[in-house]
C-alpha cells in the first residue's frame, strides 16, 4: 500500500517536519556524493550493535550518538522515497497537533526508542541499522491516536492492477502494522547478520508513538491549563 494523501488538513506550516525531510534528503545526497566512502560512512553514523557492545575503548559518545544519527541515513532511493512520502503525508498533522517544539522532541524520542528495540533484537549484529522509518512509525502511532477518523487515499495492488481507495486511517495503519508484525515474527528466526527491513524498529517506534502521543498533545495541554484556571477562580 502506498499513501498519496490524507483528508486531515494541517492548520499551520510544518516547519519542523519540512526540516526533517530536507535533512534526510541532504544527507542522502551526501551519501551518494562520497561514493567510495559510503560504506565507511554507514558504519560510522549508522547504528551497528556490535560496535555499541564492543569491549574496545571507543568512548561513551561513540556508543550513544548512532541511536540518533542513524535515523537520518538511508540505504537507497526506494528506501528514502518511501520514508519521505509517509513523513510528508502524516508528519504535518502531528506537528500541527503537538506544536513545533513538542513535535521535534517527539520525533527524535520515538526514533531513539525504535533504534533501541531493533538493537536489543541482536546486540552482536554487524549490520548497520539506518533509516527514518522508526521515527516515522512513531508518527503513525500518534496519527492513530489523534486522527482515527481521517481517510487515506491509498494505492492498493489487486492482482496485476492498482486501485486508488480511500481507506479509514484505522484500517490503513492496522494493515501497515500487521505487515510489520508478521515481518518481525518472520525475521526473528532468520540470521541476525543478514540485512533487510528493520521490522522491530517499526514496531518499537509505533508503540512509542502510541504511548507518548498523549504527553506531547498541545490541545490536551491547553485544555488542562484552561480547566485549572477555571477551577482556581
Is the Cβ–Cβ distance between 34 and 45 less than 8 Å?
no
pLDDT recorded at residue 5: 93
Q: What pLDDT is recorded for position 231?
A: 39
Whole-model pTM?
A: 0.89
- pLDDT for 223 beyond 60: no
Q: Where does the chain have alpha helices with state H?
A: 15-34, 38-45, 49-52, 60-64, 66-69, 77-98, 100-121, 133-146, 169-187, 199-212, 218-232
Write down all domains in the chain, each with its CATH number in brackets. 2-232 (1.20.1540.10)
Instruction: Quote the pLDDT of residue 229.
Output: 52
pLDDT tens column, 95-115: 999 999 999 999 999 999 999
Catalytic residues: 133, 202
Q: What SS3 class is residue 80?
A: helix
pLDDT score recorded for residue 230: 45
Question: What is the Cα–Cα distance from 63 to 123, expressed in whole angstroms?
Answer: 12
Neighbours of 159 (CB within 10 A): 5
What is the DSSP code (8-state) at residue 47? Answer: B
What letter does residue 161 receive in the DSSP assignment? E
The confidence band for 232, taking pLDDT boundaries of 50, 70 and 90, is very low
pLDDT at 96: 95
| Structural contact between residues 164 and 153, judged by C-beta atoms closer than 8 angstroms | yes
C-alpha triplet 175, 181, 184: angle, nearest 5°: 140
What is the phi/psi pair of residue 208, to 5°?
-65, -40
User: Mean pLDDT score of the chain, rounded to an integer?
Assistant: 88
Please calculate the CA angle 211-230-95 and round it to the nearest 5 degrees: 35
Q: pLDDT for 44-100, tens place per residue? A: 999 999 999 988 888 888 889 999 999 999 989 999 999 999 999 999 999 999 999
Burial (CB count within 10 angstroms: exposed 0-12, middle 13-18, buried 19+), residue 148: exposed
Amino acid at each position: 500500500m502506498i499513501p498519496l494523501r490524507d483528508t486531515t488538513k494541517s492548520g499551520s506550516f510544518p516547519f519542523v517536519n519540512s526540516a526533517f525531510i530536507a535533512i534526510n534528503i541532504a544527507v542522502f545526497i551526501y551519501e551518494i556524493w562520497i561514493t567510495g566512502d559510503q560504506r565507511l560512512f554507514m558504519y560510522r553514523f549508522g547504528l551497528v550493535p556490535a560496535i555499541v557492545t564492543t569491549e574496545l575503548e571507543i568512548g561513551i559518545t561513540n556508543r550513544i550518538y548512532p541511536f540518533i544519527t542513524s535515523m537520518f541515513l538511508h540505504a537507497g532511493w526506494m528506501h528514502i522515497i518511501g520514508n519521505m512520502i509517509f513523513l510528508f503525508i502524516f508528519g504535518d498533522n502531528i506537528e500541527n497537533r503537538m506544536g513545533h517544539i513538542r513535535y521535534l522532541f517527539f520525533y527524535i524520542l520515538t526514533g531513539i526508542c525504535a533504534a533501541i528495540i531493533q538493537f536489543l533484537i541482536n546486540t552482536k549484529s554487524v549490520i548497520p541499522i539506518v533509516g527514518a522509518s522508526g521515527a516515522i512509525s512513531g508518527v503513525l502511532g500518534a496519527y492513530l491516536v489523534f486522527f482515527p477518523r481521517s481517510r487515506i487515499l491509498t494505492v492498493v495492488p489487486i492482482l496485476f492492477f492498482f486501485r486508488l481507495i480511500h481507506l479509514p486511517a484505522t484500517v490503513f495503519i492496522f494493515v501497515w502494522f500487521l505487515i510489520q508484525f508478521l515481518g518481525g515474527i518472520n525475521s526473528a528466526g532468520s540470521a541476525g547478520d543478514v540485512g533487510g527491513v528493520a521490522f522491530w524498529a517499526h514496531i518499537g517506534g509505533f508503540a512509542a508513538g502510541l504511548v507518548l502521543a498523549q504527553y506531547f498533545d498541545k490541545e490536551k495541554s491547553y485544555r488542562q491549563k484552561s480547566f485549572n484556571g477555571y477551577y482556581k477562580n
